[in-house]
Structures are given as structure tokens and as C-alpha cells.
């Protein structure tokens, strides 16, 4: 694994009964990079995340992670070959879990939940542990720092179940950052947000990657809000993936190759519009309901 790389996946294969969801997917992510995972529904974005997070055991492939070990301040490079045996898969997962901050797509903060924003952030530090917490001073200092970094110190004492969707998303990003990860994994962080909230979340994620040098790996349907901040895009479709800078991946040649039929990519007033051949087989399904014959909406 090259210097500065925090995650590398090689030839990742995931099979569910009756179908192959990922078919040899490879990519790498460096520290401080913001990487967008793009693709239509059912393409395998969540499967990639769940594999990396250790929530799902890949059928085969290689995942390399650089993890901060809690007992050793030195950064260690860890390699594990996933060959289907429980022992090696577990070893991979254990190391990976220490290094990642995870933000699920939808977190249900019920109104009955008696938690303030700072309580949710506090759970990002040690919420997974048993027993009563120690080092109260250190934790409170860390919480204040994270709330400041994410730009929501004024929300610290607000009841989290009563915040807007955009505010809750920022709270969850603060929660993930509190664990001092070297990579953040965010599942559809822009879903169900209005444009203003989307802009705020994108700006926050850019600060996380560029100022704190924490790698940000996120999935999205639409690349457009992320174009100004994305260092690298991983486009996944039909179990295959293309990885690289936006202009090297999001072009007609690569997407046509990935889809197996003609796909056109246009620049329309700074926005990227992707159009598929209306006769282009099953991918045409994704265009339906998104306002335009043959338009692929990610």
C-alpha cells in the first residue's frame, strides 16, 4: 500500500444468492482526499461501504487499511487477504473499525430521545463501550472542539430530535469526527436535504478533508453538488467500477464502457448531465421518474 493511502480495495467480489453485486471492484483513497461514490440505485454503493466497514464479508478480494492503533501511537499498515475464511475476515474488520467514522444515510432521532447535541457527539467518543465513562474533562474538551470544527457550537444544548434534517446531518458528522477517525464514510449524506443544507454539508465535508486531512468517502446519486470538492470519483454500475478524477471517469467513453451501451455526458452551465441511449437495456429503468426520457439521474 502506497504512502499516504488510508484504504485500498483490490478485486472486491461480493455475491448474494443468485447474483454477483460487486465483480472485481478496485479503488484506493489517500489521506485528506474527498472521494465520491456515484452510481444508480442497486449498483452496489452500500455493499462497498458495508464491506469496507466490516459489516459484510466479501466473497473474495483484498482490503488494505492503515489504522491508528489505540495502544500504539505509531501508524501501522495492515494487510489482510479476504479469502472467505472467518479468521482473516475478522482480522481485517477489527483493524478497519478503529479507523472509520461512519454516518448512516438515515438516523432516526425520535422526539422521545432525551439527548442533546453534545450527548450525541459524546457517544461518538465512547458510546460503544460498556460501563461508566472516565476522563470527563478530556471528553468535554473534545466535544467542544468538534462542535467548533463542525460549526455548530450554538446547537450544543439543543434536543437533537427537534433539529432540522440538515442540522442532524451535521450533528452526525460531528459524532463521527469525535472518534478521531482517519477516514469518514458517509452514506448518501445529501439525501433528503434542501439545496442550502446540501451546500452547508458539502462545505463542512470539504473542511474535514482539507483542513483536518481526514479522508472523506461518501456516496451520492448526483455528482453535481460535489463537483467543486471531489478529488476522485468512483463510479459503480452493474458490479463494475471506474475510479479516478471526475473528468477521467465521468465521460462518455468510460461510462459507455461501464454500462455496455452508449452514454453521453454533457456540461450544462457547469452541471454534469448524463444521458443514456433510450434503447439501452435495463439501465433505461433508472431514467424513469426522473424527468427526462433517457436521462440517468444519480
Partner 1 sequence: MINWGMAVISLAAAQGTGSKAVANGASGFLFSSPVDHALVAGTLVAICAGVVGTFAVFRGQSFATHSLSDIGAAGGAAALLAGVTPLAGFASMGTVAAIALESAETTSAKDRDITTGVLLGGSFGLSALLLYLASNFTNVSGATTGVLFGSLFTVSASTLPFLAAISVVVVLSVGLVARRLTLASFDPDLVRVKGKSPRTAGLIFLVALGLAVAMASLSLGAILSAALMIGPAASVLRLTSRVGTAVLTASLLAVAETWLGIYLAYESYSWPPNHDGWPASFLVVALVLLVYLASRGLERLRVLMGGNVGLSGGSATERGRGATPHV
Binding site for partner 1 (CB under 8 A): 53-55, 93-94, 97-98, 100, 102, 104, 107-116, 119, 123, 126-133, 157-159, 161-166, 168, 179, 192-194, 197
Comparison of 30 and 175: residue with beta carbon closer to partner 1: 175
222, β-bridge pairs: none
122-134 per-residue burial string, b: 16 or more CB within 10 A, e: under 16: bbbbeeeeeeeee
In the sheet that holds 60-68, the strands lie side by side as 19-30, 5-16, 60-68, 75-82
Shortest distance (Å) from residue 121 CB to partner 1: 12
CA 215 to chain centre: 10
Shortest distance (Å) from residue 89 CB to partner 1: 13
Place of cell 455526458: 265
Place of cell 486531512: 213
Shortest distance (Å) from residue 32 CB to partner 1: 21
Shortest distance (Å) from residue 66 CB to partner 1: 17
Comparison of 11 and 126: residue with beta carbon closer to partner 1: 126
Shortest distance (Å) from residue 90 CB to partner 1: 9
Q: For 177, phi and psi rounded to 5 degrees?
A: -70, -30
Q: What is the DSSP pairing of strand 5-16 with strand 19-30? A: antiparallel
Comparison of 4 and 161: residue with beta carbon closer to partner 1: 161
Shortest distance (Å) from residue 130 CB to partner 1: 5
Comparison of 46 and 150: residue with beta carbon closer to partner 1: 46
Comparison of 112 and 267: residue with beta carbon closer to partner 1: 112
Comparison of 18 and 131: residue with beta carbon closer to partner 1: 131
Sign of CA dihedral 152, 158, 159, 163: negative
CB-neighbour burial class of residue 144 (10 A; exposed 0-12, middle 13-18, buried 19+): middle
Amino acid at each position: 500500500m502506497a504512502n499516504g493511502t488510508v484504504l485500498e480495495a483490490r478485486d472486491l467480489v461480493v455475491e448474494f444468492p443468485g447474483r454477483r453485486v460487486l465483480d472485481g471492484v478496485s479503488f484506493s483513497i489517500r489521506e485528506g482526499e474527498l472521494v465520491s461514490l456515484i452510481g444508480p440505485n442497486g449498483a452496489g454503493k452500500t455493499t462497498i461501504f458495508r464491506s469496507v466497514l466490516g459489516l459484510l464479508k466479501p466473497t473474495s478480494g483484498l482490503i488494505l487499511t492503515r489504522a491508528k492503533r489505540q495502544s500504539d501511537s505509531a501508524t501501522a499498515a495492515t494487510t489482510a487477504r479476504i479469502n472467505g475464511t472467518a479468521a482473516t475476515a475478522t482480522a481485517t474488520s477489527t483493524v478497519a473499525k478503529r479507523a472509520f467514522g461512519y454516518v448512516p444515510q438515515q438516523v432516526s432521532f425520535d422526539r422521545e430521545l432525551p439527548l442533546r447535541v453534545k450527548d450525541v457527539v459524546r457517544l461518538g467518543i465512547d458510546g460503544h463501550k460498556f460501563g461508566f465513562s472516565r476522563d470527563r474533562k478530556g471528553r468535554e474538551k473534545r466535544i467542544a472542539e468538534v462542535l467548533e470544527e463542525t460549526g455548530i457550537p450554538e446547537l450544543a444544548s439543543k434536543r437533537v430530535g427537534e433539529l432540522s434534517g440538515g442540522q442532524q446531518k451535521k450533528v452526525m458528522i460531528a459524532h463521527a469526527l469525535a472518534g478521531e477517525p482517519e477516514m469518514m464514510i458517509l452514506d448518501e449524506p445529501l439525501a433528503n436535504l434542501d439545496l442550502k443544507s446540501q451546500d452547508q454539508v458539502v462545505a463542512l465535508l470539504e473542511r474535514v478533508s482539507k483542513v483536518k486531512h481526514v479522508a472523506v468517502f461518501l456516496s451520492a446519486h448526483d455528482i453535481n453538488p460535489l463537483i467543486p470538492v471531489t478529488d476522485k470519483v468512483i463510479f459503480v454500475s452493474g458490479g463494475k467500477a471506474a475510479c479516478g478524477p471526475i473528468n477521467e471517469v465521468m465521460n462518455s467513453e468510460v461510462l459507455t464502457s461501464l454500462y455496455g451501451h452508449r452514454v453521453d455526458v454533457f456540461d450544462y452551465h457547469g452541471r454534469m448531465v448524463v444521458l443514456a441511449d433510450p434503447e439501452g437495456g435495463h439501465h433505461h429503468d433508472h431514467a424513469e421518474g426522473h424527468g427526462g426520457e433517457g436521462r440517468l439521474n444519480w
